Amino acid sequence: MTDKPRPRPARRDLKRRSQLAGEAAAASTEVETALEHPADPTAAAFFDVDNTVMQGASIFHFALGLYRRKFFTTRDIAGAAYKQAYFRFFGVEDPEHVAEARNSALSFIAGHTVAELEELGEEIFDEAMAHRIWPGTRALAQLHLDEGQRVWLVTAAPIEIARIIARRLGLTGAMGTVAEHVDGVYTGQLVGDMLHGPAKAEAIKALAEREGLDLSRCSAYSDSANDLPMLSLVGDPVAINPDAALRAHARANGWRIRDYRTGRKAARATLLVGAAAGAVSGALAAGAALRRSRS
């Protein structure tokens, strides 16, 4: 008697995981600490992080910082570098890469404390992320703050990283992927799933209901067509450093487009490939140097 193949997860189950991820992210949001009520309480802005607020993938920079602190191996970081190269060149996240990144990330944080990763996150932001913030996007966020509106980051990156970036930029707070922890120690499981694609929209809807936001008066910013569910929720969607699919969609729908990357479009592909190759070769060189130091 042969074993029956395992059924694939139903679409309803995947949708529920997105809802759980969104609800968890909204529940973990750090609302502004100011005692004064915002001047414009029903309008807000939501910003994706990777390639929107920051050049490249924040989780890659964080992982590289952890690698330098011997959290994991050269092989692990080389794989992360490859996924960063894919992300930078094609402008999209491969679903298999997203799942692999989730599983590998959970494997190395399991057993570590929340306080430990938050402390390391502060150090890694200073050394690897601060200089990668796009000034133009930061200025857009500041415009919303100056108008008395609240500003949240919405990202697939871990909530701990997202909060650090939001705090350092003076934003209201952040929503990110929530890893389960018990008594301050990570279990290696997620709450729901990664805050990615439809889950971002679920997080924003949950936050809007809680905070009394009018989504038709809100803005959202992203570089990726994966964030169309989030962008389509609000009255003012904006494409920042958009991938080809998002640029086409934004033009077709009359959305604003802002591109803060180099203007040398003819050399753009070469620059991306060079940056990606540099990331991979840098990781391998670091591993070779580490092996030499041990020999």
Contact 206, 28 (CB under 8 A): no
pLDDT tens figures, 120-130 = 999 999 999 99
The pLDDT assigned to 191 comes to 78
Residue 193: which H helix or E strand, with range?
Answer: none
264 vs 284, higher pLDDT? 264
For the sheet with 256-258, list strands across it. Answer: 173-177, 150-158, 44-47, 219-222, 236-240, 256-258
The pLDDT assigned to 207 comes to 95
CA gap 152, 239 in Å, rounded: 16
pLDDT tens figures, 141-200 = 999 999 999 999 999 888 999 999 999 999 999 999 888 888 989 887 877 778 889 999
Residue 12 pLDDT > 80, yes or no? no
Over residues 66-73, the mean pLDDT reads: 79
Mean pLDDT of the chain: 77
The pLDDT assigned to 38 comes to 72
Residue 10 pLDDT > 70, yes or no? no
**Catalytic annotation present for 183:** no
CA nearest 165: which of 118, 205, 229?
Answer: 118
> Which of 3, 13, 40, 50 is the catalytic position?
50
CA gap 227, 195 in Å, rounded: 11
pLDDT tens figures, 230-249 = 999 999 999 999 999 999 99
Instruction: Give the ranges where the chain is alpha helix by DSSP (H).
Output: 11-27, 58-68, 74-90, 95-109, 114-124, 135-146, 159-168, 198-211, 228-231, 244-253, 268-294
CA gap 100, 83 in Å, rounded: 10
For 190: left if phi > 0, alpha if psi spans -120 to 50, otherwise beta; the answer is: beta
**Residue % of the chain over a pLDDT of 90:** 46
The pLDDT assigned to 14 comes to 53
**Catalytic annotation present for 48:** yes
> Which of 3, 13, 40, 48 is the catalytic position?
48
